Structure 1
Amino acid sequence: MPTAEPRTGTGTETPSEPDPDPDPDPETAAETAETAAETAAGSELAAEQTHLAESRAALRRMREHAAGLSADVAADWVSKQFLESLLDQRVAALADHPGTPLFFGRMDHDGTGPATLDLPPTMYVGRRHVHDGDQGRPLVLDWRAPVSRAFYQAGPADPMGWRRRRRFGFQGGELTAFEDEPLDGRALGPSAILTEEIERPRTGPMRDIVATIQPEQDVIVRADLPCTVCVQGAPGTGKTAVGLHRAAYLLFTHRERLARSGVLIVGPNRAFLAYISAVLPALGEVRVDQATIEDLLGAPDAAEPAAVGALKGDARMAEVLRRALWRQIAKPEEGLVVTRGASRYRLADHEVREIAAALRGTVRYANGRASFAQRLAHQILVRMEQRGEAPDDRVQDQVARSRPVKALLDRVWPKVTAEQVLFRLLSDAELMRAAAKGVLDEDEQAAIMWAKPFRSFRSARWTLADRALLDELNDLIERTPSLGHLVVDEAQDLSAMQLRALGRRCATGSATVLGDLAQGTTPWSARSWTEVLGHLGQDGEVTELTLGFRVPGPVLDYAARLLPHVAPELEAPRSLRAGSDALTVRRVPDLAEAVAAAARDALARPGSVGLIVPDADAAACAEALSAAGLAPEVLGPESDGAGRLLVVPATLAKGLEYDHVIVAEPAAIAAAEARGLARLYVVLTRAVTSLTVLHTTDLPAELA
């Protein structure tokens, strides 16, 4: 890491002195100039370190002030509890992380541009806002503030009123270097500090990328709340980080609104959520929920063939379920008689049928049932008024709850649950034929019905696909509450019915949809983002990120050999990183021995190590590593993946990344499932620094 400003000088000029020697030695003059530059740079670095210390002290005072506030001013117990919760969140958001830079950039201007006239001449950009409590002077501006946009977007073509951008280098939270970039159009090479930050080895959870956000990423991050954004991102392009940072930006910009409606992050599995769990708290956002699709819809009780799951996940099932639910309503065959005191009031059977028909299918099932009772009661009140009585609303409610109305209601519009309806649909061939007529053919109907029905809906064992069907039915019965914003990662792997379930959870809000069509590994993987957005019920723009920052070029090029076979419509990704020695492909006689040797070599270098293997071989590979004296951890659906050496089943690798990746037997990974080549593409693109491919059998023809 550079220890002084290596590109444009320090910005400090020293006054010229008369030269007593009219003909100085050129080497001596050069050494003198270099020494002067180093001295000036060292002095400026010390000034920046002083500003960092001052900012940390101010943040500490801000936190102490927040911790000293009391909720006793609240008027009642409920308000006090709410205020205490807000204060606790404020204290947590102001936590200082010693190993994380408080600011990472600085912008300077000379006050000549109209956009900067009212701004201080120097602006430090960091992870959160820090101010001097005595004077109210901003020491660090939050990266999400509108003025901070210039740090990411300003350039020679449009400096946005700024003269210079400065980036800071850190080690262990200590400021060790700076690097300046003039915004006057002078051509410069790539930023050494930016490159080093991108390539810095990582162990444990994912880090934020606020210091390295690129202009095209920043545009996505700062998209306004009403906009639904869909990001097609090749491996290493930072799509997951972009989605998380957009959530942080929206929470900052629309704090009050989203505090009420909520933000939810949906990931493919628990290991992935553990991996990204530290990003938002590091940005000061501690109240964002994370969930998998199973957390939202319910964990499956049973498995089923992939073809059956794909059919149940088809969007056509929504119409089948709608018909099945409304067929629970029976045709009224008799009228209604209500007795009040000595009087009897009657509705003819055709009147009851007309009321039921007017409501059927126009409202949600539970609301329709309640409205049916009220409309029946209203007609009884009309009969009362015709006899000269003057009933009020209380009388209508009493009639709606009366025994004759309840009895008719249970016969005609029975109260049902989603489980009851789906149980009947999957076990009753007659109901299936009626509900699926013209939607599913006979073979498809037979495929999704239970071969051996359960005795009751209470004993039924539901699959993952069934859970999405139950969620659809629940929404047809009663409306699903909507969140303010939903971030969905690896969205290409969700079925149409699962996407509909997520769409209901942002029906009055917006979404950030992230994924890569080339990494679709489920039998029902999406083939287009237009299709995904349609199932979500959202209108949005699709942005494609193809420039990789994390995966080295040779690794990305090697994996891209599979693209024509898994997603031929996508543009091949490119990488900013050369990584000439990043890829090793080797055929070995003894896989266990080769895996242990490769793991030992990788552990000798900085960073995390992931051994990705076919799922069936995970335990055996872990044993081989343990026998070799290494200490591996096997990544499971619920593990946090915090170990330095991880054995990763191929089906859990999606969304994760490691500095050094070892892939064992790629042919076995590709052959393990229907979309195995897509799975292999995922596996081969998890490496940040190096990829070692070991095989004893031939490589897949598409890769070789």
Structure 2
Amino acid sequence: MANEINRVEEQARLERVKMRIQASIAELEPEVSGLRSQVTDIRKRFWEDVTLNTSTHEDFEETFYSIKQQEALLSERERSHLKRLQRLNGMKRLLPSPYFGRIDFTEQGTKESEAVYIGVASLTDEEELSFLVYDWRTPIASMYYDFMPGPAHYDTPGGRIDGEMTLKRQYQIRDGELRHVFDTSMTIGDELLQQALGQGADAQMKSIVATIQREQNAIIRDETSRMLIVQGAAGSGKTSAALQRAAYLLYRNRDKLRADQLVLFSPNGMFNSYVAAVLPELGEENMQQTTFQEYLSYWLEGSLALEDPFEQMEFVLTAPQTPDYEARMAGIAYKASERFLHALQQYALWLGKEGMRFVPIRFQDRELISAARMREQFYSYDPNVRLANRVILLRDWLLKELSRWERREREADWVQDEVNYLDPESYDEAYRTVLRKYRREEAVFEFTDQYDGDRRNQGPGEESLFDFADQEEELLREMIVKAHAEPLKREVKRLHFIDFIGLYVQLFEDEGAFSRMTGETEVPASWPEICRQTQEKLNGKQLFYEDATPYLYVKELIEGTRINTEVRHVFVDEGQDYSPFQYAFLKKLFPRARMTVLGDFNQAIFAQATNLQEEASPLVRLYGEEETRLIRLVRSYRSTQEIVSFTKSLLPWGGDIVPFERSGEKPRFLQASSSAARAARMAGDLAALTAEGLGSVAVITKTAAEASEAYGLLLEQGCESLRLITKETLSFEKGIAVIPSYLAKGVEFDAVLVYDASSAVYGRESERKLFYTVCTRAMHKLLLYAVGEWTPFIDGIDRGLQNMVELS
């Protein structure tokens, strides 16, 4: 704690800074308002101030330059308004808490020490041409996170600056009032971090810039790695650090990087809502946020009904006794692997020689162009031309063939039949078109003086340049055939003449065919059953989740049109739940992007998991060791020391996890004699937790069906304000949530009630990580319930870490 003299000085400085901020706000508000009015006025009067005259070439030029002048004026005013509005919003963010840290730094070769105050935005003293507050993303501010008092340095575009840090101080300022001042030798003083972590869970994740730890700062400021892998323990702040990283990248590259060039792949839609406030809180626009499922669905374009990862997860958790289970699990593992990726690459080479499948183009009951004719044309092209380019050549050939068919078809009997039944509007349209053509020809003849003056007065129905009736009927035939041809051409342009489903199905005809087409000699022992399941699903126009990425990969190898060169950074949260195949697909989709992957292999609950913590991880191979950096976060900040000590004991390899020293209650184990007794006790505990002021409480079940059951039983017990969370839930809200295990990933709650921690629910070794994930959602309190025997995962755990209660 800083001494009283220092506190008085700091209070006086805070008041001066607040006055400067208030003066800036007072100055900026009328400017912003005035510019907004100017922009609105220019938009309203845009065409009034433009001279419209196109009678001559000179008049056209005058009109063109008048429009450009107004556009330039509007653009300049909009830029000025946006710049001042951003500055005003920055001042308003600073006012309640102008800064949170300070370092005193003496640059090498100088004697004067500079006091560097650090906040969420920069503030300058224009009279003294100095910084009153430095933005936390500036190079000099990095020392606050990376060094203790003593030798320190920071990097600038001009090179490294060395020197001595003589002071590190932290502040807690709320609503403009100085609450606490701490001098520390650590990155972040325990007092400040304790207070931040001791607060309740919120409906949205908040910025952590005031409590960034040194290892998190390394994640935030990494600008060289093509692939940055963050393997972090539950509650280690990896997601928060990634969002601050996005804010840092936007700040550092403001002139060449936009928010829409960053993409975050989240575990579910609710998580998108949970993290949506962080970047705006730091004065940045939100980056693009989506889920991998949404991305897959978008590119499938409704051609197949896609299973989502949560349906797959429900199968994994609920169907182990079914006859299809083992084969399906083997299929999931194989289709997620790098081996299957390489097999599909070889398959594409094979298709360049033979095996392409096409859909014939049909009209009414006729086959206009057969699949065999398409295949013959496709393989007539130079085999050295890549597959995707040959597809384009075939597309262009098909469009020409359809144009030839269109011209021939005008004389068909069915066309005459349709002409006879056309509505009056169509006849009127044809008549007007012919009349315009007639008048154009009359004008040409008049201009060239190639007909006599008497014919100038003739009109339709008299002897004329051409026969109106014949011309009208010809035009109607043309209109009818064109109307029918356009949908066919549209389908061709969309490459719907390729039988993509058939191309994927033929991979699963039998083991011999698969080996012949891909060169793959080793397949799972249950391959015949995997083939049957896959074909059955596809024949029903459905797609297993594990097939979605391989299917689109094959489609992309053939089409070659799906890459996005605009995106520069891809963030993948809960990265352990993506397969090596999916990562390779993301790399192909975003060839110019750097990738940041955040995850915890201890929480790898999906069947296609990727190990993030190994140096030999497939992610390291994706870009190579030289362009890959792996950062491990082992300290857990979310939960109390007692909860972390218990949850790390659930993992035989969990000894590396380090709890932050924030004390609380031991996890409580409540064993009931019946489901009714459990529901009654749980209802009482929920009421007590709410009365304590815990605003965010979760009842976490294993599956969606169990969540519905728990929700119903608790409602019967009189529990109010319950919210059942499903995969369709799009927003995270405070209160009591009943939620399946896999939807709780990435989110934290003040208290967690594990609905059923019995061996009947969590009994298989493959569910250990799922149970660990559920328990690590709790910040302050963890309560576990069971009817019957406890899960074997707690066997051997020190009883001193548990508070066991037996219910009647």
For normalisation by structure 2, the TM-score amounts to 0.66
State whether residues 515 and 521 of structure 2, in contact with CA within 8 Å, keep that contact through their aligned partners in structure 1.
no
1:198 Cα offset (Å): 2.5
CA distance in 1, matches of 2:698, 2:229: 29
- Whole-angstrom distance in 2 between the partners of 1:189 and 1:289: 31
Query: Deviation at 1:462?
Result: 1.9
Specify the alignment match of 2:134 in structure 1: 141
Matches within 5 A, 1:500-649: 500-529=584-613, 530-534=616-620, 536-537=622-623, 539-564=627-652, 568=653, 571-589=655-673, 590-607=677-694, 608-615=696-703, 616-626=705-715, 627-637=717-727, 638-649=729-740
What's the CA shift string for 1:400-441, capped at 9, x where partnerless?
xxxxxxxxxx9xx99737545324434688754532443443
Distance 1:293 1:140 in 2: 40
Q: Secondary structure at the match of 2:721?
A: coil
Give runs of aligned pairs for residues 228-627 of structure 1, distance below 5 A.
Answer: 228-259=227-258, 262-298=261-297, 301-302=306-307, 305-329=328-352, 356-359=382-385, 363=386, 365-369=387-391, 416=498, 418-419=500-501, 421-426=503-508, 432-441=514-523, 443=525, 445-451=527-533, 453=535, 460-476=541-557, 477-478=559-560, 480-482=563-565, 483-529=567-613, 530-534=616-620, 536-537=622-623, 539-564=627-652, 568=653, 571-589=655-673, 590-607=677-694, 608-615=696-703, 616-626=705-715, 627=717
Structure-to-structure mapping, 1:20-59, within 5 angstroms: 41=7, 44-45=10-11, 47-52=13-18, 54-55=20-21, 58=24
Amino acid at match of 2:592: T
Rounded to whole Å, the distance in 2 between the matches of 1:682 and 1:432 is 38
Find the residue that maps to 2:585 and give its secondary structure: helix
**Are 2:202 and 1:113 aligned?**
no
Task: Report the Cα distance in structure 2 between the residues aligned to 1:688 and 1:639, rounded to whole angstroms.
Answer: 23
- Does the 8 Å CA contact 1:670/1:676 hold for their aligned counterparts? no
Of 117, 124, 133, which residue of structure 2 is paired with 1:124? 117
Cα 1:227–1:93 shift into 2, 3 Å: farther
- CA displacement at 1:310 relative to structure 2: 2.8
Displacement of 1:135: 7.3
Give the whole-Å Cα distance in 2 for the aligned partners of 1:642 and 1:55: 33
Residue type of the partner of 1:237? S
| Residue 459 (structure 2) aligns with | none
Rate the CA distance shift 1:81–1:593 in 2: closer, same or farther, 3 A.
farther
Give the equivalent residue in structure 2 for 1:407: none
For residue 264 of structure 1, report the CA deviation from its aligned partner: 0.8
Structure 1 residues 95 and 557, CA gap change in structure 2 (3 angstroms): same
Corresponding position of 2:417: none
1:312–1:65 Cα change, 3 Å: farther
- Give secondary structure in 1 for the equivalent of 2:209: coil
> How far apart, in 2, do the equivalents of 1:423 and 1:233 lie?
39
Q: Structure 1 63/555 Cα, relative in aligned 2: closer, same or farther at 3 Å? A: farther
Secondary structure of the residue that 1:585 maps to in structure 2? Answer: strand
Gaps of 5+ in 2: 43-66, 153-162, 299-304, 313-327, 356-377, 397-491, 796-808
Superposition deviation, residue 546 in structure 1: 0.7
Q: Distance in 2 between matches of 1:188 and 1:353?
A: 66
Post-superposition shift, 1:178?
Answer: 2.9
Q: SS of the counterpart of 1:55?
A: helix
- The 8 Å contact of residues 760 and 791 in structure 2, kept in 1 or not, is answered as no
Paired letter, 1:141: Y
Q: In structure 1, what is the Cα distance between the partners aligned to 2:266 and 2:78?
A: 31
**Distance across 1 between alignment mates of 2:620 and 2:73:** 41
Provide the C-alpha distance between the structure 2 equivalents of 1:188 and 1:208, rounded to a whole number of angstroms. Answer: 17
Offset of residue 190 of structure 1: 4.7
1:235 is paired with a residue whose SS is coil
* Counterpart residue type for residue 531 of structure 1: S
| 1:553 to partner: Cα distance | 1.5
CA deviations on 1:29-87 (whole Å, 9 max, x unpaired) are xxxxxxxxxxxx45743542452353255357557645626677976869968995996
Give the distance between the partners of 1:130 and 1:74, measured in 2 at CA: 37
Alpha-carbon distance change, 217 to 509 in structure 1, aligned in 2, over 3 angstroms: same
Q: Distance in 1 between matches of 2:511 and 2:88?
A: 60
Shift in CA distance, 80/622, structure 1 to aligned 2, threshold 3 Å: farther
Question: 1:450: how far off?
Answer: 4.5
- Comparing 232-241 and 422-431, the one that deviates more: 422-431
Equivalent position SS for 2:570: strand
User: Which amino acid in 2 is paired with 1:113?
Assistant: E
Retained in 2: the 8 A contact 1:93–1:284? Answer: no
| Alignment match, 1:154 | 147
Q: 1:263: how far off?
A: 0.8
Change (3 A) 1:62 1:315: farther
User: SS at 1:702's partner residue?
Assistant: helix
Q: 1:336-362: CA deviations, max 9, x gaps?
A: xxxxxxxxxxxxxxxx98973333xxx
SS of 1:168's equivalent in the other structure is strand
Contact 1:234–1:546 (8 Å) recurs in 2: yes
CA-CA distance at 1:446 after TM superposition: 2.6
* Distance apart, 1:478 and its partner CA: 1.0
CA deviation map 1:656-700 (0-9, x unaligned)? 111222222123685388731111000111111121222222222
Q: 1:540 to 1:83 in 2, by over 3 A?
A: farther
Q: Distance between the aligned counterparts of 1:112 and 1:456, measured in 2? A: 68
- 8 A Cα contact 2:331 2:530, kept in partner: yes
Q: Is the 8 A contact 1:625 1:631 kept in 2?
A: no
Mapped partners of 1:438, 1:509: distance in 2:
31
Deviation of residue 92 (structure 1)? 6.3
CA-atom RMSD in angstroms? 4.0
Bigger helix share: 2
> Aligned equivalents of 1:51 and 1:230: distance in 2?
40
Q: Which moved more, 1:57-66 or 1:265-274?
A: 57-66
Match of 2:98 in 1: 103
Answer whether contact 2:264 2:572 (CA < 8 A) is retained: yes
Equivalent residue pairs, number:
602
Larger radius of gyration: 2
SS of equivalent residue, structure 2 residue 382: helix
Structure 1 residue 290, shift from structure 2 partner: 0.9
Asked whether the equivalents of residues 759 and 789 of structure 2 are also in contact (C-alpha less than 8 Å), the reply is no
Give the superposition deviation at 1:654. 1.0
Moved more, 191-200 or 234-243: 191-200
Q: Secondary structure at the match of 1:258?
A: coil
Distance 1:688 1:89, change over 3 A: farther
Structure 1 Cα separation of the partners of residues 342 and 773 of structure 2: 34
1:166 aligns with 2:169: yes
Does structure 2 retain, via aligned residues, the 8 Å contact 1:488–1:514?
Answer: yes
Counterpart Cα distance in 1 of 2:138 and 2:499: 47
Percent identity of equivalent pairs: 21
Give the Cα–Cα distance (whole angstroms) in 2 for the partners of residues 669 and 141 of structure 1. Answer: 56
- Deviation string 1:350-396 (CA, Å, 9 cap, x unpaired) is xx98973333xxx4x2235558999xxxxxxxxxxxxxxxxxxxxxx
Report if the CA contact (8 A) 1:106-1:122 is conserved: no
CA distance in 2, matches of 1:609, 1:371: 59
In the TM superposition, what are the counterparts of 1:662-677 in structure 2 within 5 Å?
A: 662-667=753-758, 671=762, 675-677=766-768
Residues 59 and 467 (structure 1 numbering): CA distance in 2 closer, same or farther, change over 3 Å? farther
Distance 2:585 2:388 in 1: 19
Q: Does 1:207 align with 2:210?
A: no
Amino acid of the structure 2 residue aligned with 1:105: F
Which residue type is aligned with residue 641 of structure 1? F
Cα distance in 1 between the residues matched to 2:72 and 2:568: 24
Other structure's SS at 1:216 match: helix
User: TM-score scaled by structure 1?
Assistant: 0.75
Structure 1 counterpart of 2:108, which letter?
P
User: Match of 1:20?
Assistant: none
